[in-house]
Amino acid sequence: MFDTALTANDLIFLAKGAGMTILVTIISVAIGTVLGILFGVVRVQLGAALAAPLTFVLDIFRSIPLLIQLVLANAFAGMVLKLQMSGLTVACMVLSLYTAAYCAEIVRGGIDAVPATTRRAARSLGMSWGQDMRYIVMPLATRVALPSWIGLALGVMKDSALVYVVQVTELLKSTQILITRLQEPMFLLLLCGAFYFIISLPLARFGGYLEKRWSND
Amino acid sequence: MFDYTFQWKQAMAKLPQMLDGAVVTMEVAVLSMVIGILLAVVLTLLRLSGSRPLAAIATTWVEIARNTPALFQIYMAHFGVASFGIHFSPFVSLLIGITFNNAGYLAENFRGALKAIPETQTRAGRSLGMSQLQAFRYIILPQMLRIAFLPMTNQMVWAILMTSLGVTVGMNTDLYGVTQDLNALTFRTFELFAIAAVIFYVITKIITLGARLLAARLFRY
């Protein structure tokens, strides 16, 4: 029969790792989304030419491996600025900006999907820019953006597996530590994979459902 | 506070080694992409085959690839299969991991692309005497690849970025691995990784621009 050296303590250790994965994801997605909405609106508002510097900076976050972003941020904070920052802080900062870069793109897509004529109609009815944004653009853009945003949030959860590089022990790193001790790679990895899968699949399916439901109206 | 002296010269001296690493990175990415596209086409065919078990295999592949971290998939290809006494070199493990990931994502892209192609086209092909496979090969596949061209470009960029994960299974010949080794020798972490970041940025820009030119050349009518 199936036999493992995994103890209750090890399971608690894994659960702590999973908790860390979720914590990093929630902090990064929350900050990243706020920043992303800000950047997205600013980009649309300024137009392509004026927003070019912002576009360039955000593009960097999407063109460099996350691993390198983390190492660079850690080295910059620790060696250059000589700040005493915990790995968790660095990880959350980098992941937030990483999320913001993708989120800005999603937000821009959502705003662009609102027909210009609809917005002009709103302004002709005497709505201010803020009212137009709040009552016309936001509801319509959300329909376009939300499914992609769910995908992004799940992507960040999966990418948070890389924060081990700044000494944050999240789920995959805890699994690896246990593998080193127990020498049961297959079983432990399956356990770890199942955790990601169980969180990710239902939400991804939900996103797909929303996309389908909201696409043709 | 700001008393750190950058040693760019010392780091720049390692540029040739890092560029060699970039070549390996490209190799892995291109190989994983080519095999990934082929596998994704096979997965799409399995999903279209109408056979329940075959479609289930394809769907399982796609869902696992899309819903677990790429790093987990690479671990699985390296440490996981080691449980069965199969030991791959880091290069092979990395390649298998990224290819598995690519194939899953691309198969999903292909599925989306297929929705845009009217089913009547297959039937038209069939009534012209083509077999199911011929209709797919000559009518559906070319259109599918065209519609999915942009997502494929994105996936290629992802593949490049994912090669940096190879270092976790002991890969030290790709760009990230080389940089890591140089870092262990010189401790110029920031400078070395900044150069690596620039190289990665340039590579991804070349790929997106190249793909745009290719698309303009391939799909002009």
> What's the ipTM?
0.87
Cβ pair B200:A193 closer than 8 A: no
Give the per-residue pLDDT at A2.
64
What averages of pLDDT result for each successive group of 10 residues across chain A (217 residues)? Answer: 75 91 94 96 90 92 93 87 86 95 94 93 94 93 91 92 90 90 87 90 88 76
Mutate which: B186, B187, B190, B198, vs A, most A CBs within 10 A: B190
Give the per-residue pLDDT at A181.
87
Residue B1 lies in a domain: no
Q: CA B141 to CA B137: how far, in whole Å?
A: 5
Q: Which two tokens stand for residue B127?
A: 């009534």
Q: With b meaning 16 or more CB within 10 Å and e meaning fewer, what string describes B5-39?
A: eeeeeebeebeeebeebbebbbebbeebbebbbeb
Cβ pair B69:A201 closer than 8 A: no
Please return the burial class of A145, using the count of CB atoms within 10 Å of its CB with bins 0-12, 13-18 and 19+. buried
Distances in Å between the alpha carbon of A11 and those of A122, A172, A175, A176?
56, 13, 10, 13
Residue ranges of the alpha helices (H) in chain B?
8-12, 15-48, 52-67, 70-75, 90-115, 120-127, 132-135, 141-147, 149-162, 175-186, 189-218
Distance from CA of B162 to the nearest CA of A (A): 7
Q: Note down the domain range covering B160.
A: 14-218
Give the per-residue pLDDT at A211.
84
Cβ pair B165:A197 closer than 8 A: no
Cβ pair A79:B161 closer than 8 A: no
Contact A46, A199 (CB under 8 A): no
Q: CA A61 to CA A69: how far, in whole Å?
A: 8
Domains of chain A: 8-210 (1.10.3720.10)
Give the per-residue pLDDT at A81.
81
Give the per-residue pLDDT at A47.
86
Give the per-residue pLDDT at B221.
61
CATH of the domain at B92: 1.10.3720.10
Q: Residues A40, B66, A188, A192: is their CA dihedral positive or negative?
A: positive
Q: Residues A122, A127, A131, A135: is their CA dihedral positive or negative?
A: negative
Chain B positions touching A192 (Cβ under 8 A) are 72
Q: Terminal CA-to-CA distance of chain A, rounded, Å?
A: 55
Q: Which amino acid, residue A11?
A: L
Q: pLDDT under 70 in chain B at which residues?
A: 1-3, 221
Residue B2 lies in a domain: no
Contact A51, A43 (CB under 8 A): yes
Backbone angles phi, psi at B83, to 5 degrees: -60, -30
Chain B residue with CA closest to A63: the answer is B201
Q: Which residue has the tokens 């870092």?
A: B183
Chain A positions touching B3 (Cβ under 8 A) are 82
Chain B positions touching A200 (Cβ under 8 A) are 66-68
Cβ pair A67:B82 closer than 8 A: no
Residue B6 lies in a domain: no
Residue B66 lies in a domain: yes
Distance from CA of A162 to the nearest CA of B (A): 8
The shortest CB-CB distance from B69 to any of A75, A187, A196 is to A196
Residue B58 lies in a domain: yes
Give the per-residue pLDDT at A1.
47
The Cα diameter of chain A in Å comes to: 74
- pTM across the whole model: 0.89
Q: How many domains does chain B have?
A: 1
Cβ pair B72:A154 closer than 8 A: no
Chain A positions touching B189 (Cβ under 8 A) are 71, 75, 79
Distance from CA of A135 to the nearest CA of B (A): 32
Q: CA B182 to CA B103: how far, in whole Å?
A: 33
Distance from CA of B23 to the nearest CA of A (A): 16
